[in-house]
Structure formats: C-alpha cells, structure tokens
Amino acid sequence: MIDPNAKDLVVGVVGCGAMGQGIIQVALQGGLRVVAYDARAGGAAAGRDAVLARLDRLVEKQTLTTDAAAAMREALSVTDDIADLAPAGVVVEAVFEDIEVKRELFGKLEAVVAEDAILASNTSSLPIGSIARSCKHPGRVAGLHFFNPVPLMRLVEVIKGPATDPAVVDALVTIGTRFGRTPVVVKDSPGFLVNMGGRAFTTEGLHLQHEGVATPAQVDAVMRDCGHFRMGPFQLMDLTGIDVNYPVSMIVFEQFLNDPRLRTTPHHRALFDAGRFGRKTGQGHYRYDAKGTVIDPPSADHATDAAPASVVHVATPNDQALDELLDRAGLSSRADDGAMPIVAALYGEDASGFCARTGTDPRRLVAVDTTGDTSKRVTLMTAPSADPAHRDAVAAAFVKAGVAPTVIKDSPGFILQRMRAMIANLGCEMAQIGLATPADIDLAMKLGLNYPLGPLEIAKEMGVARTHAIIAAIHDATRDPRYRPSLWLRRRALLGLPVHATG
C-alpha cells in the first residue's frame, strides 16, 4: 500500500481536458509531482499549457508567488506514452464517460503501475464496481469525483466500490486533502451523492411548473428570497445547461429503477429535444442575450391596484409566525363578519383541502406560507373558486408594508415547503440507504451545490415533525409515490429524535 503522506508521491492524471486540467492544477498546488497523459496526440501538452497559463494568471493576481509557480512548473511533466505513468502512486482517470473506454484504460494502467498503486476514476455517473470488475486487483480501484471547475469547488467525493479496500479509501481521503479539497466518503451508487441529492431541487421546481402552480420566475424568487438559495432551480438549470442536467436526471432516474422521487417532467425533455439548453443557446426556461443576461425578465411579484385590507379573520389561530407576519402587514384579526378576507397558515395542506376539512369559505380564504424568510417576500395561495378581490386586498397590504407578494395556484405545501421538504426527504433517504453519513450528506450538498443548509439541516431547521407532516400531507393529497416519506425521516419524527441521529 502506498504512503499517501509521502513527500515524493507522484500523481498520474489521465485525460487533459477541462476536468483533467483542474485535477492537475490542484495536485500541483498541493505540492505533489504530476505526470499527465492524454491518448490524443499533443493533448497532454495542450493541457499543460492551459494549466500553466492559469498559474501565471494567479501570479498576476498576486494569489500565487512567482517562486511557487516556478516550482509547480518543475513538478509537472507530460507524456504521450502511458508507460511513463509507472512511477505514479495514484492515477486519476478523467476521460469521457464510456464504460468500455474506462475498462480498457484501467487494464492498461494495471500493466504499467506498481501493484500497490491506487487507480481512481473521476466518473460522475458510472458505477465504480463496473469499472473495477475487469481489473486484476479491484481492491485498489475507487472513485475520486471532483466538481467543475475543480480549482474553485472544494468538494471531492471518495467513492468506495464493492471491492475497494478500506485502506484505499483512507488513502484517497488523505490525498484529496493534500489537493486542498474536502473529501466526503460515499457508497458506490447511481449519481453518487451530489448528483443524486441534487435531483430534488431541480425536479420539484419542474413539477411545480408542470402542475401550473407557479412560473419559473416565481419559484426562483421564492427560493432565493425566502429559502436563501443562491439561485432558483430554473436559473440553475439554465446555467449548467439543459443538455447536461436533463441527461443526468434521466441516468440517475433509470439507474434507481425509475424511483418516482427522481422523476423529471415532459417539459424538461421538451427543452432538451428542442435544443433550448439555457444560457449557452440563448433560450431555456428564460431568454438570454449574448452576455447571458435575461431578456425581459418576468416578475414574480403580484401586481394589484386594490385597496389594502386592514382587517382579516384568522382561520388558524395561535400561530405565532402568522400573527407576526400579519402584524408587519398592518392586518388586524377580527371575528368573521361573513365578508372579510380569511387568512390561514397551512403546512403541507392545500387551500382546497383545508376548506373541505374545516368548512372555511373557499371564496374568501387566502393561505399564507409563514415558513422561511418572509422579510422580503411572502407566498399567497387560494382555492380554485376564490374571489380575487380578497386575495388582492391581502396582497396589497403586504405591498404597502414593503413585502413582495407572490401569488400561486393551489398546491399542497406552497413552493418553499414543497421544495424544502423534498430536499430534506431525499437527503434522509440517502442517509437511510447508507450513501454517506448524515453529516457528510449535509457537507457535500453545501459544498457541491452551494445550498444554504444541507438536506438534513433543512429538516432540523423546519422541525423534524413538521417536515414529516408536510411531506406526508403532500403524499396524502397527491397519492404520488414521489412524495412518500423516507423511513429515516418518519421514524425520527415519530420518536422525537434528532434528524441526524444514527443507530
């Protein structure tokens, strides 16, 4: 077994495209010697030149010293002969996603490197077990999955295949740390951790659109303003490219044997088939100019010239969050006079279901989402038969108070509750199947996708019992197995345990 802490450890990198270049750079910045190989004639040299150019820019920005850059130049060598990888203690493969190509490559590497060298794949979608199955020593094969752009993304997933030696996993954790990354150990599974966990954010946004509940602009605004996500799901899909996120969504969905939790929508496929990939093509969920700026960005704010309401009847009394929100909007609660707007804070329930259950007048009910940050934006929802005058009067009160109202169609869980409950539920399911530890699931999703909180942390913030109640209510309303609660979440909610509790 190699010593992952050895000062003279040599790292081999196979494939000198964008990902390979990033891996080369972080290995050099970690003080390691690198031998880069590419099967394309001149490919390794081109990759080297691109890496060195980036290092020169870091020197110009004074984030890297001239001496350090010179040392990195000396530590990097390139080759067109795979036999020159023989001194490498660890080889990281970063070629394109073709299982047969990778198997053939790993066979060639085994014939070159020492028997105790580690062979790691940067694959983002292919099972490590499938790559290792034809190797003579499958125990030394693992995944080392970096994220693009590698120098900026701190996370690296260390994937333990079915035959991977635990010592190899430990060694890759050390090596990943030496690369300046934050390693998270993940079980070999479709999409690994981040690509699987990220399905909830994008696909639930798509389902809200598919059901006619909200527009992409409304979903994005609520997730930014109320959920503190850096961008909404539709912005994210347009940024990464529909040509990337649709195929990944389908790969993960199909490899999990069509689990409804991972199902996308026909509109997602329609954009892909139409070549509307987002910013790179000028049109996706939004339209873009040549600089990537949205053309005529649609508003998520409800426009009304109605007179603001001053009094309402509260149908869900003793809800502190609702009381505080109404107070900020200057809305006083009174006994129902049969003509005033009725306001209710709902959790997982839709307006129609609440009215049917309680006998509340659906024409006057305005449901309010009190979860998340309501300082800038509040989400309002009405039943299909609602009188818009009551909705507009309540919305106008929020506008007067400086809070932007987003008005959506009836939906169990509004926008934010549905989105966060789905993210939390999928995170709990990843913990249930042992994909990674609960803490590492949270860490990986924050580092890999810039989430403000990890999935299980979201459940903790919302309250484990409330998170379970919301997802269970959505499941009851829709009868869609997509929303079935994870047993991990259910058991901890029933027993009053912390969501991170193991055992």
133-139 own/partner pairs: CB under 8 Å, 24+ apart: 133/103, 134/103, 134/106, 134/107, 135/106, 135/107, 135/110, 136/110, 137/110, 138/163, 138/164, 139/163, 139/164, 139/165, 139/168
Amino acid, single-letter form, for residue 496: G
Active-site hit among 157, 204, 349, 457 = 157
- Known catalytic residue at 122: no
- Known catalytic residue at 195: yes
- Known catalytic residue at 145: yes
Pairwise CA distance, residues 276 & 284, whole Å: 5
Sign of the alpha-carbon torsion through 129, 132, 137, 143: negative
Pairwise CA distance, residues 54 & 48, whole Å: 10
Helical residues (DSSP H) of 198-287, grouped into ranges? 199-210, 216-225, 233-240, 242-255, 266-273
Note the Cα 69 to chain centre separation in Å: 34
Distances (CA, A) of 272 to 152, 276, 283, 320: 28, 6, 11, 45
End-to-end distance of the chain based on CA atoms, in angstroms? 32
Active-site hit among 121, 122, 189, 195 = 195
Which element (helix H / strand E) includes 185? Answer: strand 182-187
Structure-token match 């509307």, residue found? 276
Active-site hit among 93, 121, 122, 124 = 124
DSSP codes joined into one string, 151-173? TT--EEEEEE-TT--HHHHHHHH
DSSP state of 55: H
Q: Residues in the chain, how many? A: 503
Note the Cα 256 to chain centre separation in Å: 17
Active-site hit among 93, 145, 352, 429 = 145
Pairwise CA distance, residues 47 & 143, whole Å: 22
Residues forming the active site: 124, 145, 157, 195
